[in-house]
Amino acid sequence: MNDDTKTTTDPKKRRRIIIGVSALLVAALATGGAVAIYQHSASVQLAEVKEACAQSSETLRVARNKYDTLHDKDAAEAVKITDKQVEDAAVVTTLAKTYKEEAPDLAACNVEGVDALREATARIDKNAAWYEAHTADLSKAVNAVNESHDAKTLKDAKDALSKQLTAAQEKHKATDGKVKDDKTRKELKTLIDKAAKTKDGKDTEAMNEQAKQLKTLMGKVDASVKAKTDADRKAAEEKARKEAEAQVAAQAQTQQQYVVPQQSYTPTYTAPQQTYTAPSTPQYTAPAQPAQPATPSKPNTGGGPISGGHGMTGPCDAACQAEAMKPIQR
Per-residue pLDDT tens digits for 64-122: 999 999 999 999 999 999 999 999 999 999 999 999 999 999 889 999 999 999 999 99
Distance (Å) of CA 7 to CA 10, 15, 17, 20, 143: 6, 14, 16, 21, 102
The mean pLDDT value for 22-36 works out to: 54
Mean pLDDT, the chain, rounded, equals: 80
pTM comes to 0.56
> Largest Cα–Cα distance of the chain, in whole Å?
280
Given a cut of 90, whether residue 281 has pLDDT beyond it is no
∠96-100-106 over CA atoms, to 5°?
Answer: 155
Mean pLDDT of 202-225: 96
Given this model, what pLDDT does residue 12 score? 66
- Does residue 228 carry a pLDDT above 90? yes
* C-alpha to C-alpha distances, 245 to 250, 253, 265, nearest whole angstrom: 9, 12, 39
- Asked if 179 and 221 touch (Cβ cutoff 8 Å), the reply is yes
pLDDT per residue as tens digits for the range 290-305: 444 444 444 444 444 4
| pLDDT given at position 311 | 47
